[in-house]
Amino acid sequence: MAELNTPLTLGELKLKNRVVMAPLTRSRATADRVPTPMMAEYYAQRASAGLIIAEATVISEQANGYLNTPGLFNQAQVDGWKLVTDAVHAKGGLIVSQLWHVGRVSHPDLLAGETPVSASSVQQAGHVSLLRPKRPYVLPRPLQIAEIHAITEQYKQAAIYAKQAGFDGVELHAANGYLIDQFLQSSTNLREDEYGGSIENRARFLLEVVDALIEVWGAGRVGVHLAPRGDEHDMGDATPRETFGYVMQELGKRQIAFFFTREYLAEDSISEDMKARANGVPYIANMRLSREDAIDLLASGKADAVSFGKAYIANPDLYERLLVDAPLNELKLENMIGTDVAEGYIDYPTLEQI
């Protein structure tokens, strides 16, 4: 029976325990998207996790939708990330890079005046996150096929940079309404070419990017991040069980290292069905998990590892706290995103410091 402290193999990744730090956007990089020494300290503090999935990292300047999120498309960013990976490895941790293109979840003000891109011209409801004064999302333009191929190459180059930066692998961000998800789900993909229509066509971009990442890393160091509920950024799919089931069938054929779903536990959850179709690919569960949820998921075999997000922001030693059922630090919401101060970032105390 698997427990929180049971070792786990994810492809070629050897985890010392089954508690994973989820990717968490903190917008703490420089204006040029270079990781900082403070980011290195932040991740090193959390290296007791079985695996750290680093915050979403843009593959080009045109892939971004937020200020001060890190990138992996030039040498300065590689060098900045090398500080992070070295610090995590010095503490005995594992860390993978999450590669990201936001697609329509952006604004011309963040793209040097360019129109955001997507699978189709479907405008997202709501207002652009964190930009002030508030402004609505704009109508995106659909990518041409040649552009889709070019973005796939950008993902591949970012994976090469991730290897140079010392990461232990990469995870494709195909969730939460960002570009890959916009191609995958039927509400945002109205295309009539080979990237639209059928489930097989809508999943094509995702799988082509995965294949490009495997060329760089091998399947055993590539993960995929999915959000089958479609509950972020005005998403939705007509047949999610079939859509995500097909994706898992194809990822299972490739024998990737793991898949990760952002899906809270409920009667209509489909992650367990996805795991059944994954041909043995390990599954990392995430979203609103309590300690008891995590223990039950592992003990029952419904998940192979469990992941926590906000709890890891406030508790650098979350793994140790979960083991002994210790109380957790209170999250400082005011400093969660986009400041350059230590407070609310690297000043949370461990149990030993209390």
With a CB cutoff of 8 Å and minimum separation 6, the contacts of 275 are 248, 283, 302, 303
> What's the CA gap between 299 and 321, in Å, rounded?
19
- Active-site pick, 161, 178, 195, 312: 178
DSSP conformation class of 117: E
Nearest to 292 by CA among 4, 7, 17: 4
Label residue 327 exposed, middle or buried (CB < 10 Å: 0-12, 13-18, 19+).
exposed
Count the helices and strands in the chain (H runs, E runs).
11, 12
| SS3 of residue 235 by DSSP | coil
Per the annotation, the verdict on 178 as an active-site residue is yes
Question: Angle at which helices 145-164 and 204-217 pack, to 10 degrees?
Answer: 30
- Return phi, psi of residue 200, to 5°: -60, -40
Nearest to 28 by CA among 68, 66, 62: 68
The set of catalytic residues is: 178
